[in-house]
A = this chain, B = another copy of it.
Amino acid sequence: MSKRPNILFIMADQLRADYLGCYGHETIRTPNLDRLARSGVRFSRAYCQSTVCGPSRMSFYTGRYVGSHGATWNDTPLAVGEMTLGDHLAATGYRTVLVGKTHMRADEAGMARLGIQQGSTTGQRIAECGFEPELREEGIYNIVGDQSRHANAPYNQWLKEHGYEGDNPWHTAANSVTIDGKRTSGWYLDASPHPANVAAEHSETAYLTEEAIACIDRLGSADPWCIHLSYIKPHWPYIAPAPYHAMYDADAIQKPQRHERERTSPHPVYAAFQNLRVSQAFSDDAVREAVIPAYMGLVSELDDHIGKLLAALEVRNLLDDTIIVFTSDHGDYLGDHWLGEKDFPHEPSIRIPLIIRGPGLAEGHVSDALVEAIDCVPTFVDFAGGDAEHPRLEGRSLTPMLLGYDVEEWRETAFSEYDYSVLRVRDEVGQPIDRANFVTAVTERYKLIHFPGMSPMLFDLHDDPEELRDLGDDPDHAHVRELLTGQILDWSLRPRRVTESSAAIERRTDTQIERGILLGLRDEADHADALAAERARGAERLAKAGPV
């Protein structure tokens, strides 16, 4: 590519990979995303770094595992020293703009400690997660307390410009339905069969799409850009505007992935998640039959807007200048495995869609490599010609797969983390606060979930792709558990040199002796000898490391 490409980085919220046609869903209609996949590269095994929004997104944006960036829960501030996508791309001359949600909370204490004013250029950038805040809307609009404080939210203002009334039409229109003439919160599962009190052309999804297109026009072609279009749906509340609310019926939903066996002496942490109110609700088929059609409607609505975006790029002659990335922060159980919400790491929750299409990239390629959310930033930095081996990046550029190459040396295991210390689950399990977490290791064939101080869970994804048989204490699989536990250990001990990259260390040729540090030398003859040996070693190492 002569000109560096724009990057349109689209994220859905709580979208399961397998709720897209191109990922195998048999009844859902997602023609635009399917087309995107056919004209680009689809990753069949992409995993999020955490199954809850905040930590997952902080991994997406920093290119680092949750245990490295430390924002382990929603609204846990992202530490002031972390770098995000915007910081990495800014170094390459890209403009990096946000339209939508980040779920990021700024580290105000850290900023104060470093004397960074909230209103300063740096302060604003940090507070906005490294993005130029074209439009930030975090969604899930607060319905508690005085509604007038929400009146100025951009989406509320926009809704009012389009004739919606009240202080917070985001809640009263977009997030509510009308049942028997009475306005009812869309958060209640009973609301799902009803259309939202908002017209489809005024939904959150429609609004963000419109804003993204306006943003593309405003940015123009002076500098290459990366727009992070971060949709709020199909995340709860599970209600869709007409006609999407009625696009699917109970016959269109997939049968649940669950087995009675899973409720017979499950792992204690799994049991505690099963006991959550939301899991009990979604274990009821009536709830699934009411909610899943609405969820599917929201996905099809999103797909329609992806179509509009693609058309907008085409009409502006930008399709060949732009890399389009589509993904999600995590999935949703929707009753599978007797669970609601996300949180636990079965495939419906942990596996995410990842489709990348762009000029010069492979078309119609499907990669089965184990890729992770943290690979996105290094990939984008690679496109932009930046330093994809920056010490703060733990992911790896996907460029080889995107060019259709087989990658010989790739990770054998993907990792995802979860901290349940704030949840009722911890009280029920009785874990101390600093061990109320688990790590999931996924290989080509197996998935092991390690719980500190407790026995693990294990699934054989070949023989049991629906993950219905926990092999956590199966004697025949002791060696598999040992192997994967060892991989988690070595992964967790990865050097976390945030200020110096492994690549830089690999190319170090300076010698201790040249810096005046003389160890174990008796005299001048020793000195000359040791210096020659150190220099030879530096040259050898450099030759082995190869060119930058």
Contact = CB atoms under 8 A, between A and B. Distances in A.
Given A189-B522, A498-B79, A499-B78, A437 B517 contact: no
Size range of the chain A interface in the assembly: 35 or more
A176 interface: no
A81 interface: yes
A-B interface, 9 closest residue pairs, ranked by CB to CB distance from nearest: A81-B81, A278-B520, A187-B518, A281-B520, A492-B492, A452-B490, A115-B122, A77-B499, A70-B498
A190 interface: yes
Interface stretch (A139-147, A304-312, A365-373): A139-147
Nearest to A432: B502
Interface in A304-348: 340-341
A400 B122 CA distance: 43
B189 A499 contact: no
Contact of A76 (B67, B188, B497): B497
A114 B113 contact: no
Contact of A70 (B76, B189, B496, B515): B496
A113 B140 contact: no
Interface string A72-88: 11001111111100010
A516 B140 contact: yes
B115 A79 contact: no
A521 interface: yes
Given A437-B493, A495-B72, A497-B70, A520 B189 contact: yes
Contacts of A494: 434
Given A115-B120, A422-B505, A437-B495, 7 more contacts: A81-B82, A110-B499, A142-B516, A340-B520, A341-B519, A422-B508, A488-B489
B519 A190 contact: no
Nearest to A179: B523
B144 A516 contact: yes
A493 B280 contact: no
A469 interface: no
A412 interface: no
A39 interface: no
A524 interface: yes
A495 B421 contact: yes
A63 to B, nearest CB: 15
Contacts of A495: 67, 72, 419, 421, 434, 436-437
A223 interface: no
A94 to B, nearest CB: 15
A247 interface: no
A87 B496 CA distance: 22
A116 interface: yes
Contacts of A116: 114-116
Given A489-B485, A497-B76, A188 B519 contact: no
A188 B485 contact: no
Contacts of A439: 493
A433 B505 contact: yes
Nearest to A280: B520
B79 A277 contact: no
Most chain B Cβ neighbours within 10 Å, of A276, A282, A500, A530: A500
A185 interface: yes
A427 B122 contact: no
Most chain B Cβ neighbours within 10 Å, of A73, A140, A488, A517: A517
A68 interface: yes
Contacts of A502: 421, 433-434
A522 B433 contact: no
Contact of A500 (B77, B490, B521): B77
Given A77-B500, A120-B115, A279 B144 contact: no
Contacts of A80: 81, 114
Contacts of A424: 534, 537
A336 to B, nearest CB: 15
A130 to B, nearest CB: 10
A277 B530 contact: yes
Contacts of A25: none
Given A87-B113, A421-B505, A502-B433, A188 B540 contact: no
A68 B434 contact: no
A79 B498 CA distance: 7
Most chain B Cβ neighbours within 10 Å, of A122, A189, A492: A492
Contact of A68 (B421, B488, B496): B496
A164 interface: no
A427 B517 contact: no
Contacts of A506: 433
Interface in A448-468: 450, 452-453
Interface in A255-278: 276-278
